[in-house]
């Protein structure tokens, strides 16, 4: 995951355009996403929101809860290699 500072805050950079418009992305991530100012093909997500989402997902898995296939796919899609 690429992490960069934008306007004084840390953001995770993802190689997906307009991530905040995708219905298959969790609300917390969409609400924290914006256009990456350096890359027109990428979105920037506030790092604290991404961290909270991933920690919550890990906790659910540790408690024996299995994410839905769509949530599992989202986690995989969001961790695609950055080119």
Helices 47-62 + 69-78 axis angle, to 10: 140
Q: Is residue 24 part of a domain?
A: yes
| pLDDT one-digit tens code per residue, 15-29 | 999 999 999 999 999
Mean pLDDT is lowest, of 14-23, 45-54, 57-66, for 57-66
The predicted model gives 43-55 an average pLDDT of 95
Phi-psi region of 67 (alpha: psi -120 to 50; beta: other; left: phi over 0): beta
Strand order in 9-14's β-sheet? 2-6, 9-14, 43-46, 33-35
Q: Is residue 83 part of a domain?
A: no
- Please tell me the predicted confidence (pLDDT) of residue 69: 53
Residue 77 has pLDDT above 60, yes or no: no
Q: Is residue 46 part of a domain?
A: yes
Domain extent at residue 27: 2-78
| Residue-averaged pLDDT of the chain | 84
Structural domain count of the chain = 1
**35 Cβ contact partners less than 8 Å away, ≥ 6 residues apart:** 18, 43, 44
Residue 72 has pLDDT above 60, yes or no: no
Q: How far is CA 69 from the centre of its chain?
A: 17
């Amino acid at each position: 995951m690429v992490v960069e500072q934008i306007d004084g805050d840390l953001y995770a950079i993802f190689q997906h355009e307009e991530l905040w418009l995708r219905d298959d992305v969790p609300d917390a991530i969409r609400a924290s996403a914006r256009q990456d100012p350096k890359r027109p093909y990428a979105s920037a997500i506030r790092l604290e929101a991404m961290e909270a989402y991933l920690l919550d997902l890990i906790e659910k898995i540790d408690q024996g809860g299995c994410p839905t296939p769509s949530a599992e796919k989202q986690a995989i899609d969001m961790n695609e290699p950055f080119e």
